[in-house]
Chains A and B, each alone.
Chain A
Amino acid sequence: MKKILSALTLAVVFTLATANPAQAEEKMLGTVTKIDLAGASATATLKDTKSGTLVDLLVDDTVTLDKFKDKRIGVGDEIKAKYEKKDGKNHSTFFKKAGGC
């Protein structure tokens, strides 16, 4: 019985250690300090409202890029963003002005 338990424990530990965990989506509220447009993507730098740290987000959805181009979103705008860390970059999955009514 001990052998079976040990084998099971080992299997669980191995699975957890080698599994590729799903990338957690991170959220932030920040103010745009810089937008660098580069072809089919852009890097938007947001200053985190809480911590004050600068976060670079890679944006490649056409709707948001269009808003960068005609400055519907620009420096000084407060943004609610979600992103995933992938290949050392923060890939934006949600990028909208924190507007409302």
Chain B
Amino acid sequence: MRILPRTLALVVALAAAPALAAEHPGNDVIREKGYQGPQTCEECHPGTAKAFLGTVHWKHASRVTNVDNLDPRQEYGMKNRIYTFCNGNDVVNDLKEIPQNALGKTKLTGCNSCHPGNHLAGVGSSGAEAEAAIDCLVCHSAKYDYSKRKPYKTPDGKVAIGQDRSVEAALAVGKPTVKACMTCHETAGGGTLIKRGFAFDAEHDAHAAKGMTCADCHKAKDHKIPTGFDPNNWANDGVRVACADCHGAKPHKDADYDAHTAKIACQTCHIPTSGGAVAKDFTKWSKDAATGFWEPSTIKREPAGTKPVYAWFNGTVRNEPHLIGPKGSRSDPKSKITPFKIYEGRAYYDRRTGKLLSMDFAQPTASGDTLAGVASAAKTLGLEKVDPVPGWQTIYFANSHLVTKQKALSCDRCHTANGQLDFEALGYSKGEIARRKLKSAELWFDRLHEKEQKKEEF
């Protein structure tokens, strides 16, 4: 009978252990001295603020070595890219007060609203002022009060972004939660689940269902966040993440499945769906009758609402005015068949140079006048004359989330007539398809039947 209280005490202690372990060692200092932003963090993490200014999260850009037609001496990213998913960028569509719309309403908006600073020290800024402006808690606090993180005008007319620097928020620091990441990353590109269209929750993702967070895979060191290769996502901290980092080269209990991994990316079978915006038109904006503001005309799908397209990809990228897409081929040993979300965007091109033009959203948001937005962006970039004509650009987005185990593609989904993969488009001849029975149940029926029978055995 004496054992029971001890057992109960042990159970309570074990249950409390994670909470106790989560207590940030610096909390005593914060309780004693309060929280003054990065200078408080620096007491125990010296040099971190300065180092953070060199990361993609602060610069919104980096050197890019895997994309065609870029200047290797320049940095590229949300800061300055011109493409048809966003069409604006931090430079031409800087956070500011936009002109009044027909209802007399205005607002403070711009591409860099998510930048983890205060906007007064902006994207890519450096020095002591920039270090002091870092909003450490927006990523690291589980009790961040987002009502404080809003743009406002300072007494001298500048536009700044507020921060929650309360002791309560500072005492809740830790590894970024899924919400901390998704608050910005889920709303990129003009609204919730527009850009990448994946919901990182138990319903949509096998990793989320296991309670994993973004930072479990995108495990940062010195605030450098590893990312995968993506035709659309260029800026990177020089560190990469891949499924095989955790799962290895032979992740299945089935040799036939493992035989696929040399030429088929994991995502091909384990992410058979896609979602988010499939097309946008930046030349014709749509008016929201309720608010009186205009938005780029957008066609979007729910998470897992569409199917991806498949292409060979070796990690390098074609970058042309009308196409941003994967490079690779069947004969290239570094290439794998990889799924992509396909996206079509219409924007203005300069008739004389054929180059894509960017857009300041202030004018079109207020009045729908897209050409005024192009003219404003051209002025910011120092382009003396542009001759805008509408044109389309196709973009391939990496399809790297919405991971499933239960609904992964099985043999019958690809190796059949009109299956998920178009073997001919991927470089397989009709003769080879017939000879190897790539589109026939004969290839897999017996093995799959045996497996399914085992599942039903008592």
Chain A: residues with CB nearer than 8 A to chain B?
Answer: 27, 29, 49, 66, 70-72, 74-75, 78, 80, 96, 98-101
Contact = CB atoms under 8 A, between A and B. Distances in A.
Interface in B146-197: 146-148, 179, 183, 190-192
A70 B291 contact: no
A98 B147 CA distance: 15
Nearest to B361: A101
14 contacts: A27-B290, A70-B145, A70-B146, A71-B148, A74-B147, A75-B147, A78-B291, A80-B290, A98-B293, A100-B293, A101-B88, A101-B93, A101-B190, A101-B361
B291 A29 contact: yes
Contacts of A80: 290-291
B365 A101 contact: yes
Interface in B273-325: 288, 290-291, 293, 295-296
Contact of A100 (B146, B147, B295): B295
A99 B179 contact: no
B40 interface: no
A74 B238 CA distance: 38
B144 interface: yes
A71 B146 contact: yes
Interface residues of B, number: 23
Contact of A101 (B109, B145, B183, B290): B109
Interface SS, B side: loop
A72 B191 CA distance: 14
Contacts of A96: 192
A44 to B, nearest CB: 14
A72 B190 contact: no
B144 A99 contact: no
Interface of B: 88, 93, 109, 111, 143-148, 179, 183, 190-192, 288, 290-291, 293, 295-296, 361, 365
Nearest to A77: B147
B291 A98 contact: yes
Nearest to A62: B201
A75 B111 CA distance: 24
A100 B191 CA distance: 6
A72 B145 CA distance: 7
Contacts of A71: 145-148
Most buried by B among A49, A70, A98: A70
A71 B291 CA distance: 22
A96 B192 CA distance: 10
A66 B288 contact: no
Nearest 5 CB-CB pairs, A to B? Answer: A71-B147, A29-B290, A74-B147, A72-B146, A101-B190
A57 to B, nearest CB: 16
Contacts of A99: 109, 191
Contacts of B293: 98, 100
Contacts of A70: 143-146, 179
Given A27-B290, A71-B147, 4 more contacts: A70-B146, A80-B290, A96-B192, A98-B288
A100 B365 contact: yes
Nearest to A28: B290
Contacts of B361: 101
Contacts of B183: 72
